[in-house]
Structure 1
Amino acid sequence: MFQLKWLWQNLKGDRTRYILALCLSVVGSSLTIINPYIGQRIVDQFIAGSDAVYNLAHKRGLLVGLGLGMIGFSLLRTGLSYFTTLQYERSSQNMLFRVRINLYNKIQGQDMKYYDRNRTGDLMTRMTGDIDMVRHSLAWIIKTIIESFVVFAAAVVYFFFIDAELTLWLLLLSPPIFIVAFIFARRVRPMYVELRERLSQLNTVTQENIAGNRVVKAFAREPYEIEKFHEKNVHYSQANKAAAMVWLDYFPYLEILSQGFNVVLMLVGGLFVMNGRITFGEFAAFSALIWGLSNPMRSIGIIINDIQRFFASVSKIMDVYYSQPEIANHHNVEVKRRYQGSIQFEHVTFKYDNVTVLHDINFTVAPGETVAIMGATGSGKTSLINLIPRFYDVAKGRVLVDGTDVRKLELDELRGNIGVATQDVLLFSDTIDGNIAYGNPDMPEAEVEKFAALAAAHDFIGKMPEGYNTIVGERGVGLSGGQKQRIALARAMAVQPPILILDDTTSAVDLETEEHIQKSLRELDFPCTKIIIAQRVSTTAEADRILILDNGRIIEEGTHAELLAKRGYYYDVFMLQNEGIGREASAYGQK
C-alpha cells in the first residue's frame, strides 16, 4: 500500500484527471451489460418468443430502435474508452516527467559516498526502465484491474437478476482461479526482484565497456569484454526465462478454469433452457456476457505478472526517491561572500569504509599561500583535499575555512569559493569554450581565452578545426591527456576562486608547459590560496610549503630547501628525479 501512496503523491497536479479516468473506467465498464440486455430483448421478442411473428409484423420500430441502441451504445463505449485511455496516458506521462526530474535532482544532490556505493548502470536502470514500468502500471495495470473488477461485478449482478442458481454454478470456478493466482504471485515475486538485479548488472557492464572502450581497444580485450557481456546477458536471459516459465506453469490452469465458464453455461444453462427455467434470450444474454467472468479470470495472471514487476521496480525507485545525503546542500545562501582563503586542519582523522585513511592531520594554510602535497600512492593525498570542499566529512577533528568549520558552511557558498582540477579529467560533450566557462556560462570570450592562455591551452586550441567552438566529444575524446588537463586547469582558474585545488594536474604535460603553468599560477591577478598535489619536484620546488604524507600521516613539512636538508623522503624523490646531480642538490640544501 505504501507504493500506491507514493504513486498518489506523485500524481499531484494530475489527480483530478486520473480520478476522472477511473470514474470513466467504471462507467464504461458498467455499460457492458447494456448490449447483452438489448440482445436478450431482441431474441425473446423477435426471434424465439411465442409472439415473435406478431412482434415482427407490428413492432418493427422497436426492433429498429433496439438495433440502433446496440450500435449507439457500442459507439459510446468505444468513444468513452478512447477518451479514458487518453486521460490515463496524460496522467501517467506527466507523473513520469515529474518523477524523472525528482530522481535526477535527488541523484545530483547526493554526496560522494552515495556514488561510491551505487553503480552507474544501476542508477541508469532506475531512471529509464524502472520508471517506465511505473508509468505502465499507472496507465495500464490499475486501469485493467478497475475495469476487470467492474465488468466482473456488473456481470454477476446482471446474472443474479436473471437467474441466481445458474450464476452460483458459474461462480463455483472463481475460488480455484484465485487460489492458483495467489500461489503464482507468491512464487514469481522474488523472481522479478532477481530479474531486475540481473538487468541492472547487464546495464552496468554495458556502460562501463562503452565508457572504457579506448582501454579495451588498447589492450585488445574485446573478446574478454564480449565474453563478460555474454555472461551477464545469459544470466539476465535465464532469469527472464525462469520468470516466464513460472507463468507458463500456471497459465494452463488459469486458462482451463476460465474456459470452464463456457462449459458450465452450456451444460447447466442448456438444461435450464430445456426445462423452461430461463428463456432463450436470457441464455443468449449469459452467452454474450460470459466473457465478463472469463476474461478477468484469464487476465488475472497477466495482471499479477505485471504487478510483481511494478513492485520490483518501484522499490528501487523509492530507494533513490527517499534517500537522504549525509552531506546535504540546502541552497540557502542568497548573497555569496568571497572567502579570504585560509585553511586549517585540526587533529583530522578520516575513515573510508571503516578504514582509517588519515591520522591526526594538523596544518594551517594562510590566505594566498601555496602548499604542495607529496607522497606515495595511497598515502591519503586526494582524501585530504576532498575534505576541504566537504566531499566527505571527517571522522574526528575539524577542517576550517576562514576560521569556520566546513560543516557549518553552506555547500553552495563553500564550493563556489573553491576551484578544483583533478588528474582524472572529465570534460563534457560540449565546446571547449563551454567546458572552460562551465563555472560561469556568461563569461566573455576574452576571459575564456585569457585563462586558456594561463593554462598553456590557447595555442593548441587555436590549431583545432573550430577553435574554441570545437566539440571535444564525450569525456574529452579526441584530446590528449595533457590537453585535457590544461582545459580542466583553465576551467578551475576561470571562476577566479580564492582557493584553488590542483590534484596532479600537470602530470601529463611536458616540462616546458609545466614551467609556463607554474609561472601563471604564481602571477594570478586575483588573490588565491593554492593546494597542489604533485609528484614532480619541479612542481613543488616553488611552493611556500611542502607537506609529505605517508600512510595518512604528515611525516615531513617545510620548504624545498628545508626538506632537502632533512635528507628524508623528499630528498630521496629529488635525487631519483635528478640523478647525477647529487652534489648540486647537497649544495642547494645547505644554503
Structure 2
Amino acid sequence: MSETNTKSGNVVDFNILKRLFTFVKPYIGKFYFLIFLTVFLGVLAPARPYLIQLTVDNHIATGDMHGLINMIILMVALLIFQAIVQYSHTYLSGWLGQNVIKDIRIKLYDHLINLKLKFFDKTPIGRLVTRNVSDIETLSEVFSQGLAAMIGDLLQLVFILGIMFWTDWKLTLVCLSTLPLLLISTYVFKEKVKVAFNRVRNAVANLNSFVQEHITGMNIVQIFNSEESEYEKFKEINREHKRANLRSVLYYAVYYPVAEVIQAMGIGLLIWYGARGVMHEGVTLGVIIAFIIYIQMFFRPIRMIADRFNTLQMGIVSSDRIFKLLDNQDHIPNDGTYSTDNLTGDVSFKDVWFAYNDEEYVLKGISFDVKAGETVALVGATGAGKSSIINLLSRFYDINKGSICVDGRDIHDYELSALRNNIGVVLQDVFLFSDSVANNITLGDTSISRAKIEEAAALVGAKRFIKKLPDGFDFNVMERGSTLSVGQRQLISFVRAMVYDPKIIVLDEATSSVDTETEEMIQEAIEKLMKDRTAIVIAHRLSTIQKADKIIVLDKGEIKEQGTHEELLALNGYYTQLHKMQYKEVV
C-alpha cells in the first residue's frame, strides 16, 4: 500500500491529534485566546443579520430616521469590530501554526541526526526530506485552515441555527428543507476530493523523484544519449500530474455550482413561504431579509467544511508519518560519561563480530592492537571488512559481539561526541556542503579560529590552491563541492580532519581518487601528521602503506595475516598475492 493512503480513509484519529497538541503546550495561553476568539466570532456571526432585522422592522418600516442612523452607526461599529477580531483570529492561528511546526521540525531534525547510519542505509533520502519539509508544512494548515476553522464554522452554524429557531421555528424548518441535499452532495464531494488529493500527492511525489534523480544523473543521461527517451518519460509523468489535478478541479467545478443551486432553492422556499407570512402578518419583512442572510451564512460553512475536513485528514496523515519517525529509537546509545581529554591513542579490537543486517557477519572474530603513535594499514579485496572496522571504531555502528577499547577503556564508556572528536576521518567519497571552504572545514564549529584553519591547510598543502580561489577561504564550493576538482575536495576533507587535532587518524582510501602529484602532497602531509598520533590507514595502493608499523590483511571479514611489509612478503601468502597483482608480477 502506498504511504500516501495511510489513514486517509479513516475518520479523524484523535490520538494523533492529542499527541500533536502536546506541541501547543509552550503556547497554551495564546491557544486558549485563539479558542476564545473562535467562540467570539461564532457569537458575532448572527449579530449583523439580527441588527438588520431590527432596523427594517423598527425604524425603516416606521420611518424613524433618527433610530435608523443610530442602527447604521451601530452596524458599522460592529463590522469594524468583527474585522479586527477576524484579523486577530487569522493572524494568531497562523502564528501558532508556524511556531508549532518550527518546533516539530527542529525536534524531528534533531532526532534524525542522532539515528544510526543503519537507519539511513535502509531509508530513502527522499522520504526523509518529505517528512521534514512537506509533511510538516501540511501541519501548518491544520492550525490555520483545518481544526480552528472547522471549530469556528461549527460554532457559527450552532449560533445561527439557535437565533433562527428563536426568531421563527417554522420559517427555519422551511429554510432547512434543502439541507439534506447539500449534506449528501458535500459528503460525495469530500470522498471524491479525498481520492483526487491522494492521486495528486502521488503524482507530485513521482514528478519530484524523477526530476531529482535525473538532474543528479544528468551526466549519465547525456553520456548515453538518452535525452529524447528521458524527455518522453518526463512528459508522461507530467501528463499524469495534470490529469490528477484536473480531476480534483472537476469535482470543485461540479460541487460549488450544485451547492449554489441548493442554496438558491432554500432562499426561494423562504421567500415563497415568507411572503405568505407577510401577507397574513405572521412574518415581518425584516425577518425575511435577516433569514436570507442567515441562509447564506449557514450554507457557506457547510460548503467549506468538506475542504476543512480534507485539510484536517491530510494533516492527520502527515502527523502519523512524522510521529512514526519520531518513535523510531534506532539510535546509538550515548550512556558513556568518560572524558577523552588525556587520550593517548591506544586502540584494541578483541574478538569483534559485526553484521549490518544482524544475519550475515561482515567481521568475524577480529582482534588486533594498535599502540599510541603507531600506523596500522588495513588491506584486502573489496568487501573484506576494512571500512566496517573504522565505522565501528567511531561508533557509527555498534558491534554484535566482542569489544573495542581506546586507551584500555571500552568505547561505550566514552561520551560519544568526545570520542568522535578525537578520531579524525578522511573518507574516499568526499562530501562538501554548499558553503564556504572555511565552513566546510570547521562544519560550523565557531571555536576553530581562521588562523588554525589556515595552519592546517598549510600543513596539508591545500592553502596554495585555496588562496587562488576567487574569495579564498570564503569561496562557496557549491553543492557537493562541484566547483572543485576531486583532488581539491580530497585536500579540503584532509584539512577538515586535521583542524580538530585528533589523537587517532583514520584514512579510508584517502588517496585513491587523486593524481600522483596530489598524492605526493598528501603523503608528505601525512608524515607530518602521523607524528605522535595513532593512524589507521585503508588503501588499495600498497605503495602508500609500505612504511606502516603493521599491515593487517583481511579477507571475507577475517584477519588472514599481520606484520610489516617485509614480513608479509616473506610469508608468500595473501599479501604477496595482492602485491604481485598490483605490480603485475603474476605470471
Common fold by TM > 0.5? yes
Are 1:290 and 2:295 counterparts? yes
Contact 2:338/2:414 (CA < 8 Å) preserved in 1?
Answer: no
Contact 2:175/2:295 (CA < 8 Å) preserved in 1?
Answer: no
- Aligned CA distance change for structure 1 residues 337 and 439 (closer, same or farther; 3 Å): farther
In structure 2, the residue matched to 1:137 is: 142
Contact 2:340/2:422 (CA < 8 Å) preserved in 1?
Answer: no
Matched residues in 2 for 1:16 and 1:23: separation? 11
Letter in 1 for 2:306: G
Q: How far off its partner does 1:177 sit?
A: 4.2
Q: How far off its partner does 1:328 sit?
A: 4.1
Where in structure 2 are the equivalents of 1:291-310 lying within 5 Å?
291-310=296-315
Question: Which residue, out of 343, 349, 355, partners 1:345?
Answer: 349
In structure 1, the residue matched to 2:479 is: 474
Question: Which residue, out of 426, 446, 449, partners 2:431?
Answer: 426
Question: Which residue, out of 361, 383, 388, partners 1:383?
Answer: 388
Contact 1:333/1:413 (CA < 8 Å) preserved in 2?
Answer: no
Contact 2:145/2:308 (CA < 8 Å) preserved in 1?
Answer: no
- Aligned CA distance change for structure 1 residues 456 and 217 (closer, same or farther; 3 Å): farther
Letter in 2 for 1:378: G
Are 1:396 and 2:409 counterparts? no
Q: How far off its partner does 1:372 sit?
A: 1.2
Deviates more, 1:476-485 or 1:82-91: 82-91
Question: Which residue, out of 269, 274, 287, partners 1:269?
Answer: 274
Alignment gaps of 5+ in structure 2: 1-13
Matched residues in 1 for 2:293 and 2:171: separation? 15
In structure 2, the residue matched to 1:152 is: 157
In structure 1, the residue matched to 2:51 is: 38
Contact 1:122/1:201 (CA < 8 Å) preserved in 2?
Answer: no
Matched residues in 2 for 1:562 and 1:546: separation? 10
Letter in 1 for 2:490: Q
Contact 2:147/2:312 (CA < 8 Å) preserved in 1?
Answer: no
Q: How far off its partner does 1:238 sit?
A: 4.6
In structure 2, the residue matched to 1:552 is: 557
Q: What is the aligned residue count?
A: 573
Contact 2:108/2:326 (CA < 8 Å) preserved in 1?
Answer: yes
In structure 2, the residue matched to 1:117 is: 122
Structure 2 SS opposite 1:423? coil
Deviates more, 1:350-359 or 1:172-181: 172-181
In structure 2, the residue matched to 1:14 is: 27
Deviates more, 1:458-467 or 1:24-33: 458-467
Where in structure 2 are the equivalents of 1:196-235 lying within 5 Å?
196-214=201-219, 216-217=221-222, 220-223=225-228, 226-227=231-232, 229-230=234-235, 232-235=237-240
Are 1:86 and 2:91 counterparts? yes
Contact 1:121/1:200 (CA < 8 Å) preserved in 2?
Answer: no
Letter in 1 for 2:351: H
Are 1:363 and 2:376 counterparts? no
Q: How far off its partner does 1:167 sit?
A: 1.9
Note the alpha carbon deviations across 1:294-313, whole angstroms, 9 max, x for none.
11222122222322322232
Q: How far off its partner does 1:73 sit?
A: 1.4
Are 1:490 and 2:503 counterparts? no
Q: How far off its partner does 1:395 sit?
A: 2.7
Matched residues in 2 for 1:228 and 1:382: separation? 38
Structure 1 SS opposite 2:393? coil
Structure 2 SS opposite 1:378? coil
Are 1:67 and 2:72 counterparts? yes
Matched residues in 2 for 1:402 and 1:229: separation? 57
- Aligned CA distance change for structure 1 residues 359 and 80 (closer, same or farther; 3 Å): closer
Are 1:3 and 2:16 counterparts? yes
Note the alpha carbon deviations across 1:348-383, whole angstroms, 9 max, x for none.
222223552414232223222211112222222222
Note the alpha carbon deviations across 1:237-272, whole angstroms, 9 max, x for none.
454455555666766665554444323323433343
Q: How far off its partner does 1:230 sit?
A: 4.5
Are 1:455 and 2:468 counterparts? no
Contact 1:434/1:441 (CA < 8 Å) preserved in 2?
Answer: no
Matched residues in 2 for 1:287 and 1:60: separation? 24
- Aligned CA distance change for structure 1 residues 378 and 72 (closer, same or farther; 3 Å): same
Q: How far off its partner does 1:517 sit?
A: 2.9
Matched residues in 2 for 1:428 and 1:538: separation? 32
Letter in 2 for 1:109: N
Structure 2 SS opposite 1:327? coil
Question: Which residue, out of 95, 107, 131, partners 1:126?
Answer: 131
In structure 2, the residue matched to 1:588 is: none
Q: How far off its partner does 1:501 sit?
A: 1.2
Note the alpha carbon deviations across 1:25-74, whole angstroms, 9 max, x for none.
22123222222222222322345xxxx4xx32xx3322221222222212
Contact 2:373/2:534 (CA < 8 Å) preserved in 1?
Answer: yes
- Aligned CA distance change for structure 1 residues 182 and 396 (closer, same or farther; 3 Å): farther
Structure 2 SS opposite 1:392? coil
Question: Which residue, out of 379, 404, 420, partners 1:374?
Answer: 379
Contact 1:439/1:494 (CA < 8 Å) preserved in 2?
Answer: no
Deviates more, 1:183-192 or 1:413-422: 183-192
Question: Which residue, out of 555, 574, 580, partners 1:569?
Answer: 574
Letter in 2 for 1:278: V
Q: How far off its partner does 1:232 sit?
A: 4.7
Note the alpha carbon deviations across 1:171-205, whole angstroms, 9 max, x for none.
34445544554555556556645644553444344
Where in structure 2 are the equivalents of 1:314-353 lying within 5 Å?
314-329=319-334, 336-353=340-357
Alignment gaps of 5+ in structure 1: 583-591
Structure 1 SS opposite 2:320? helix
Contact 2:362/2:557 (CA < 8 Å) preserved in 1?
Answer: yes
Matched residues in 2 for 1:323 and 1:182: separation? 36
Letter in 2 for 1:505: A
- Aligned CA distance change for structure 1 residues 276 and 473 (closer, same or farther; 3 Å): same
- Aligned CA distance change for structure 1 residues 551 and 95 (closer, same or farther; 3 Å): same
Contact 2:339/2:415 (CA < 8 Å) preserved in 1?
Answer: no
Contact 2:177/2:266 (CA < 8 Å) preserved in 1?
Answer: no
Contact 2:366/2:558 (CA < 8 Å) preserved in 1?
Answer: no
- Aligned CA distance change for structure 1 residues 218 and 44 (closer, same or farther; 3 Å): same
In structure 2, the residue matched to 1:25 is: 38
In structure 1, the residue matched to 2:544 is: 539
Q: How far off its partner does 1:412 sit?
A: 0.9
- Aligned CA distance change for structure 1 residues 179 and 402 (closer, same or farther; 3 Å): farther
Matched residues in 1 for 2:468 and 2:475: separation? 10
- Aligned CA distance change for structure 1 residues 265 and 197 (closer, same or farther; 3 Å): same
Contact 1:344/1:365 (CA < 8 Å) preserved in 2?
Answer: yes
- Aligned CA distance change for structure 1 residues 431 and 41 (closer, same or farther; 3 Å): closer
Matched residues in 1 for 2:32 and 2:177: separation? 34
Letter in 2 for 1:347: D
Question: Which residue, out of 108, 116, 135, partners 1:103?
Answer: 108
Contact 1:357/1:551 (CA < 8 Å) preserved in 2?
Answer: no
- Aligned CA distance change for structure 1 residues 210 and 14 (closer, same or farther; 3 Å): farther
Contact 2:552/2:562 (CA < 8 Å) preserved in 1?
Answer: yes
Where in structure 2 are the equivalents of 1:230-245 lying within 5 Å?
230=235, 232-242=237-247
Contact 2:190/2:310 (CA < 8 Å) preserved in 1?
Answer: yes
Matched residues in 1 for 2:36 and 2:338: separation? 47
Matched residues in 2 for 1:439 and 1:84: separation? 40
